[in-house]
Chain A
Amino acid sequence: QVQLVQSGAEVKKPGASVKVSCKASGYTFTGYYIHWVRQAPGQGLEWLGRINPDSGGTNDVQKFQGRVSMTRDTSITTAYMELTGLRSDDTAVYYCARGGPLPYYYKNPDYWGQGALVTVSS
């Protein structure tokens, strides 16, 4: 069965960086896109970007102005999302989710990880 297992909660200071991992199993890791989505406390879902685990190519929203970096390690079927220059409004639960099969980058996510809470506080 498809499973996405994310790393645990993190507490970071403003200006620091955080790297969230997403371990995939139950399907061919390089055959499906991985999306990253976040949800601030009490707020809605916000799409951050997607990565092609086969090529490593990414798409992300301009809003983050290069602060978001999505990578993967195919040898351990794990995707990563790193966010730099953390601010208090980056406090959120960060989710990874499996997208469509390559090359269908326009298909939306189906299976989701459990989420990782990132708290930014001085």
Chain B
Amino acid sequence: QSALTQPPSASGSPGQSVTISCTGTYSDVGGWNYVSWYQQHPGKAPKLIIYEVIKRPSGVPDRFSGSKSGNTASLTVSGLQAEDEADYYCISYASSNAVFGGGTKLTVL
């Protein structure tokens, strides 16, 4: 199972919006609505911010939103804040297993 494709980096200024993509195939992202997104700060464990493509766990700000079109899922961070600077990873269910994206480093300029 190949890793999902994410851009290595993304950036935006405070208050702006940024979208991170996660591209797979019909066997993973395209075939199932079981895509999640995690935020990871340096030295910390990943934190769930989006699950089942569009759902947000309680306590996660509504500035974080998810979507999917075909084989590509996306995470949008609106109203960027300094604390949003982190690594972001997508994961999808894939034929009895699961597969992560390579990760995207989000920089708040």
Contacts and interface: CB of A to CB of B under 8 A. Distances in A.
Contact of B46 (A49, A60, A106, A112): A112
B64 interface: no
A44 B101 contact: yes
Nearest to A110: B48
Nearest to A45: B100
Contacts of A115: 45
Interface stretch (B10-18, B19-27, B74-82, B91-99): B91-99
A108 B91 contact: yes
A29 interface: no
B65 interface: no
B48 A47 contact: no
A59 B102 contact: no
A44 B45 contact: no
A89 interface: no
Contacts of A49: 97
A106 B93 CA distance: 6
User: Is chain B's interface secondary structure helix, strand, loop, or mixed overall?
Assistant: strand
B89 A61 contact: no
A61 B51 contact: no
A46 interface: yes
Contacts of A112: 45-47
Contact of B89 (A35, A45, A60, A114): A45
A85 to B, nearest CB: 21
A59 B45 contact: no
A44 B34 contact: no
A95 interface: yes
B98 A50 contact: yes
A109 B48 contact: yes
Nearest to B102: A44
A45 B103 contact: yes
8 contacts: A35-B98, A44-B102, A47-B91, A107-B34, A107-B51, A108-B48, A109-B91, A110-B51
